[in-house]
Structure 1
Amino acid sequence: MTSPDRSTGPDGTAERPQEPSPHALAFIFLVVTIDMMGVGLAFPLLPKLIQGVGDFTISEAAFFNGAIAVLYALAQFAFSPLVGNLSDAYGRRPVLLIAQTGLALDYLLMALAPNLWWIAAARLVSGMFGATVSTASAYVTDVSTPENRARNFGFIGMAFGLGFVIGPFAGGLLGAIDIHLPFFVSAGLVALNVAFGCVVLPESLAPRDRRPLAGWRQSNPLAALRLLTRLPRLTPYLTCFFLVFMAQRGLESIWVLYADFRFGWGIREAAFSLAFVGLMYIIVQGFLVGHAVRRFGEPRVIGAGYLLAAVSLIAFAFVDSGGPAIVLVGSFILGAAIAEPALKSLATQLIAANQQGLLQGAIASVNSLVIILAPALANLVLANVSGPTPLAPLPGAWFLFGGGLFLLAFVVFRRARAAT
């Protein structure tokens, strides 16, 4: 069976995607970077903003912060496949530009929010329009060749890391001046990127490769997942995404509290460690993954990445000091970050050109679903092991569990490859 990732010309021969302009890729890079900057801004500033609009106690602000975080995740889960379907039907360019305009509106709502309901509405808008990473990924697929696809997906991961580094630090610096200032600045950055995109971003999906807009039954996230499971060769890849996302999102949600509990780290040490994570993503997905895939191929890179991540997490569970912990964080990011774009590259080769938006939307929906599930489970585990009467004396229980998830993903992937 030949790979359906290219359109065909008038003579029936396969057309290779043209190399995208540097300006177009720069716009896509900025889309993902700014989206992740928004996540980084919300992480440290949102609880303080909530406190400010309602004069809430820390406990009350924490409760509302958690509820709003779930609302945001549910919005991303619900709208990711719809955004992907819209881009398959009408093209990537209008969806990206409209979504970025909506994100600028969200930042303005956050900056001007007079009460809790306004903040909740802003985060709902952010979840809806923040589901643009799936369309950005589909754009990259459209303009990539098999030889540079993994490298280009690595650039998206690099943008994730850059946004994750810049967001918390910029939010902290600007928020010290005024709690609303970071949101005004972010709205301005997104507006400038929209103007930039209007000038430099060409459409990547030819009219002949588009498909009619699916109805709501095809655009809701659960239907999108069911559609993908009907493709037997793709189901194991989707399972791998779910397993590794569960390990990663749970780890992220408890990291600051776990570092305080286990290593005695304060906010400063935790912030530096998060910046280190972002830098590792930049290095691995921006510079290493393309070279690794060209030399070893996607399957070997994925298998080695999963094993390295699993071993790192299992070892991390037994570390009780910060120095070795940072080394293991680095090795974990190396394994996890190099495997993800390689797996996305393989998955895109099993889907037709006019379904790439649906595929990326479904992957984003898996991640959004995990964002709802993993933090709740990880925090329950941490609450138990850090309490006075833990079920088992295993402070690093979630890291052991996460290592097991990566090992399971390795087995699922190897079985899938053996069956092809």
Structure 2
Amino acid sequence: MLTVLHETFPQHTFLMNGLIQGVKGLLSFMSAPLIGALSDVWGRRSFLLITVFFTCAPIPLMRLSPWWYFAMISMSGAFSVTFSVIFAYVADVTDERERSTAYGLVSATFAASLVTSPAIGAYLSAWYGDNLVVLLATLISLADICFILLAVPESLPDKMRLNTWGAPFSWEQADPFASLRKVGQDSTVLLICITVFLSYLPEAGQYSSFFLYLRQVINFSSTTIAVFIGVVGILSIVAQTLFLTLLMRYLGNKNTVLLGLGFQILQLAWYGFGSEPW
């Protein structure tokens, strides 16, 4: 993807990367309340299928038409809220005591994919070319869609759906700005939202440009980037499964958040000042 991005926009690579990620994020912000509200009415499984499909749809376009690929990635932001649906699914099938562990397992599974996929992609690209990488990614996406269709049950019982008793769907539920206004009504929720926003703001900015920066400025190879992502993914799996449970048990929720934010500050500062490959 980084190679295609640089080849398509050689003079404005970072600018176009930022615009693509920005449009995708804006559409996600606008659509997330709508998809969440509709999933409360029609169930999680249908929207899990829709979000996964549109998230994966741009993949084959990478080799067919780079311009259409990046356009579709931007537009797919309207449906790329898979994690929101997954977390709602987890909330449906777990009780409050198990929920934090379940969320950690979901995040660890995502990290596991980050460990394996870049390494597999770099190896196949080096030996067989990029076309095979895109083909394999497309086939795995199709397998994921088939898995949801055939094996994933609905998590939201009929009696829990908002339209069970004839309650009409309100567009106010789907208004992202109305959701923001409601946040301010509860001081605890507001504080949590501010914390999350200020945490994700630098994280998203770093994530959207960091691997491109490594490739174009620090001159990392595809293999080196794959190894780097793999190491980060392994550490993330350990943190989300083993350390998260222990830290929450012995430090409590707030101190665990503070510890995580402290490490985030260290990480981002190190990225910012680092200028050598090591």
If the length of structure 1 is used for normalisation, what is the TM-score?
A: 0.56
1:29-48 to 2 correspondences below 5 Å: 42=1, 44-47=2-5
- 1:370-393 CA distance string (max 9 Å, x none): xxxxxxxxxxxxxxxxxxxxxxxx
Q: Is 1:79 aligned with 2:31? A: yes
What secondary structure is seen at the aligned counterpart in 2 of 1:266?
coil
Mapping of residues 264-343 of structure 1, within 5 Å: 266-267=220-221, 269-310=224-265
Answer with 284-293 or 147-156: which moved more: 284-293
- String of CA shifts for 1:185-208, please: whole Å, max 9, x gaps: 222212212222233322222223
Q: Measured at CA, do residues 85 and 276 of structure 1 come closer, stay the same or move farther in structure 2, by a change above 3 Å?
A: same
Q: 2:92 aligns with which of 142, 167, 181?
A: 142
Contact 2:183 2:190 in 1 (8 A): yes
Check the 8 A contact 1:112/1:180 in 2, yes or no.
Answer: no
Q: CA deviation at 1:133?
A: 0.9
Identity %: 25
- The structure-2 alpha-carbon separation of the partners of 1:175 and 1:147, relative to structure 1 and needing over 3 Å to count, comes to same
Aligned residues: 272
Number of the residue aligned with 1:58: 10
Unaligned stretches of 5+ residues in structure 1:
1-41, 324-420
Q: Which moved more, 1:277-286 or 1:216-225?
A: 216-225
CA contact (8 A) 1:103 1:125 kept: no
C-alpha separation in 2, matches of 1:308 and 1:103: 30
Residue in structure 2 matched with residue 199 of structure 1 by the alignment: 150
Cα distance change on mapping 1:172 and 1:105 into 2, 3 Å: same
2:28 aligned with 1:70: no
Residue 76 (structure 2) aligns with:
126
Task: Give, in angstroms, the shift of residue 250 of structure 1.
Answer: 2.8
User: Which 10-residue stretch deviates more, 167-176 or 235-244?
Assistant: 167-176
Pairing 1:372-411 to 2, within 5 Å after superposition? none
Measured against aligned partners, the alpha-carbon deviations of 1:383-415 in whole angstroms (never above 9, x if no partner) come to xxxxxxxxxxxxxxxxxxxxxxxxxxxxxxxxx
CA contact (8 A) 1:160 1:281 kept: no
Write the distance in 1 (CA, Å) between the matches of 2:193 and 2:36: 16
Distance in 1 between residues matched to 2:56 and 2:177, nearest whole Å: 28
1:275 partner letter: G
**1:222 counterpart letter in structure 2:** F
Give the corresponding residue for 1:227: 182
User: Is the Cα–Cα contact under 8 Å of residues 103 and 190 in structure 1 kept in the other structure?
Assistant: no
Superposed, 1:100-115 pairs within 5 Å as: 100-113=52-65
Q: What is the CA deviation profile of residues 140-196 of structure 1, one whole-angstrom value per residue up to 9, with x for unaligned ones?
A: 111122222111111122123223333433333344534343333222212212222
2:34 and 2:175 in contact (8 A); partners too: yes
Q: Are the structure 2 counterparts of residues 153 and 172 from structure 1 closer, same or farther at C-alpha, using a change threshold of 3 Å? A: same
Contact 1:90-1:210 at 8 Å conserved across structures = yes
TM-score, reference length from structure 2? 0.80
Within the alignment, does 1:244 sit opposite 2:196 as a pair? no
Q: Distance in 1 between matches of 2:271 and 2:56?
A: 39
Shift of 1:226: 2.2
Report if aligned partners of 1:110, 1:122 keep a CA contact under 8 Å in 2: no
Secondary structure of the residue that 1:230 maps to in structure 2?
coil
Supply the distance in 1 between the matched residues of 2:211 and 2:51 (Cα, whole angstroms): 31
Mapped to 2, the partners of 1:247 and 1:124 lie a distance apart of 20
Cα-Cα RMSD: 3.3
Q: Deviations over 1:251-272 (max 9, x none)?
A: 334545776899x663355543
Residue deviations 1:102-146 (CA, integer Å, cap 9, x gap): 344333444433x62x22442145323321110001111111222
What residue number does 1:410 align with?
none
Contact map agreement 1:91 1:203 (CA 8 A) in 2: yes
- Residue aligned with 1:227, SS: helix
Unaligned 5+ segments in structure 2 are none
1:296/1:61 Cα in 2 relative to 1: closer, same or farther (>3 Å)? Answer: closer
SS class of match (2:116): helix
Contact 1:71-1:123 within 8 A present in 2 as well = no
User: After superposition, what is the alpha-carbon deviation per residue over 1:301-350, rounded to whole angstroms, capped at 9, x for unaligned?
Assistant: 22333344445656776777776xxxxxxxxxxxxxxxxxxxxxxxxxxx
